[in-house]
């Protein structure tokens, strides 16, 4: 496939926003059970939610650049019964609304306990909103990933690993962001977020690595023999039927060399995993929000490369029909 930057920005930006929200809420739940010092609800949770919301909104804006008719985008909520894309279109704004309410609740101090858990832990409105947000957040990860994973003949994508990768990569990026943010807004908690960021980054490396290994072993199921239905091992296309390009030659071919693809692969393997881990450790040791912010940026670059590779690697069976100009 030919990677589209609108979709690369959409998936990486909302991934970071989702991960940041999960990090904030994890922090709140830990604090509820006195496992972490409680943080200021305005300067930490409300501002953190605003940052997460900004990432989600930026992703949403990027997605509009993918559409031929953005003014009709509202129509895309119609087919949620069958289409993962439609489901994403519904879940993304729902999640954004919940994150907004979660941040607003913290800002406005909706902290009077509504009821108590056994053991006397008070549950307030923000905790419930956060729980709803967490559900929607995972729902959004699943919708986004299933848009790709549900296409069975794009076999590089058609695996549960795609869903796991989206969750872990987005989570890692968001937790690194949370580490940088907490180093500035709540230094006592930055070690906690940094630890989880490292765990998620290593987890993401494992699952992304597993999908890379899986994909190198794939054998194409469609061949020219099944594409045109002639039972012969040696078939070559002599003409695709037209001399110039078409939608089919532009949308489905990345047009880069094997070496370039390999470069991007190793680029993201380095930039998204070991480098941010090292910078993260250095930033935590120095307690510097700037260095930790650098870790997020490096990893974000790596994740953009990862997403580019994710699209470029998928080999669409339609390409069998577009091999030779004449």
Partner 1 sequence: MTQLALVIDLNVCVGCHACVTSCKEWNTSGAAGYLSDDRPYDADPTGCFFNRVQTFEVGAFPDTQTVHFPKSCLHCEEPPCVPVCPTGASYKRAEDGIVLVDYDKCIGCKYCSWACPYGVRELDEHQKVMKKCTLCVDRIYDEKLPERERKPACVLACPTNARLYGDIHDPDSQVSQAIRENAGYQLMPEWGTHPANHYLPRRKTVIRIHADELQRADNPLKIDGKLPKPALKEPSLDDVTSW
**Residues near partner 1 (CB under 8 A):** 1, 66-70, 72-73, 75-79, 82-86, 89, 147, 150-154, 221-222, 224, 226-230, 232, 234-248, 251-252, 316-319, 321-322
What are residue 117's DSSP bridge partners? 121
Handedness of CA 187, 188, 193, 194 (dihedral sign): positive
- With respect to partner 1, which residue has the nearer C-beta, 113 or 245? 245
- With respect to partner 1, which residue has the nearer C-beta, 42 or 66? 66
- With respect to partner 1, which residue has the nearer C-beta, 152 or 217? 152
Rounded to a whole number of angstroms, the minimum distance from the CB of residue 90 to partner 1 is 10
Residue 45 is classified by DSSP as I
- With respect to partner 1, which residue has the nearer C-beta, 215 or 240? 240
Distances (CA, A) of 41 to 13, 28, 111, 267: 24, 9, 9, 39
Residue 317 is classified by DSSP as G
Considering only CA atoms, which of 263, 264, 159 is closest in space to residue 214? 159
Rounded to a whole number of angstroms, the minimum distance from the CB of residue 320 to partner 1 is 8
- With respect to partner 1, which residue has the nearer C-beta, 116 or 318? 318
Distances (CA, A) of 162 to 69, 144, 191, 200, 212: 28, 10, 29, 16, 11
CA–CA distance, 27 with 35 (Å, rounded to integer): 9
**C-alpha angle with apex 57: 81 to 25, nearest 5 degrees?**
85
**Main-chain dihedrals φ then ψ at residue 272, nearest 5 degrees:** -90, -20
Rounded to a whole number of angstroms, the minimum distance from the CB of residue 7 to partner 1 is 10
What stretches of 57-110 adopt beta strand conformation (E)?
none
- With respect to partner 1, which residue has the nearer C-beta, 139 or 263? 139
Rounded to a whole number of angstroms, the minimum distance from the CB of residue 244 to partner 1 is 4
Rounded to a whole number of angstroms, the minimum distance from the CB of residue 30 to partner 1 is 38
Angle between helices 160-185 and 190-216 (to 10 degrees): 160
Rounded to a whole number of angstroms, the minimum distance from the CB of residue 61 to partner 1 is 16
């Amino acid at each position: 496939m030919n990677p589209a930057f609108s979709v690369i920005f959409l998936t990486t930006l909302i991934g970071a926003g989702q991960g940041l929200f999960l990090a904030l809420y994890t922090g709140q739940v830990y604090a509820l059970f006195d496992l972490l010092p409680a943080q200021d609800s305005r300067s930490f949770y409300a501002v953190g939610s605003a940052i997460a919301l900004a990432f989600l909104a930026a992703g949403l804006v990027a997605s509009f650049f993918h559409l031929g008719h953005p003014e009709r985008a509202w129509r895309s909520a119609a087919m949620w019964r069958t289409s993962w894309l439609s489901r994403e279109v519904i879940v993304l704004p729902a999640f954004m609304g919940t994150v907004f309410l979660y941040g607003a609740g913290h800002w406005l101090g909706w902290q009077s306990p509504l009821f108590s858990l056994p053991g006397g832990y008070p549950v307030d409105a923000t905790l419930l909103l956060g729980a709803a947000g967490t559900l929607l957040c995972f729902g959004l990860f699943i919708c986004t990933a299933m848009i790709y994973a549900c296409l069975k003949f794009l076999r590089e994508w058609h695996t549960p690993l795609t869903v796991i990768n989206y969750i872990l990569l987005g989570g890692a990026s968001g937790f690194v962001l949370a580490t940088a943010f907490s180093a500035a807004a709540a230094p006592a908690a930055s070690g906690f977020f940094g630890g989880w960021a490292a765990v998620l980054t290593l987890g993401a490396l494992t699952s992304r690595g597993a999908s890379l290994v899986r994909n190198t072993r794939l054998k194409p199921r469609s061949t020219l023999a099944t594409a045109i239905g002639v039972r012969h091992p040696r078939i070559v296309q002599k003409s695709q039927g037209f001399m110039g390009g078409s939608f089919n030659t532009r949308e489905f071919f990345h047009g880069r060399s094997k070496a370039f693809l390999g470069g991007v692969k190793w680029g993201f393997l380095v930039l998204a995993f070991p480098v941010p881990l090292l910078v993260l450790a250095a930033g935590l040791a120095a307690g510097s929000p700037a260095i930790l912010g650098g870790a997020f940026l490096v990893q974000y670059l790596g994740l953009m490369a990862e997403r580019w590779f994710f699209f470029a690697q998928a080999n669409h069976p339609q390409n069998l029909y577009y091999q030779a100009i004449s």
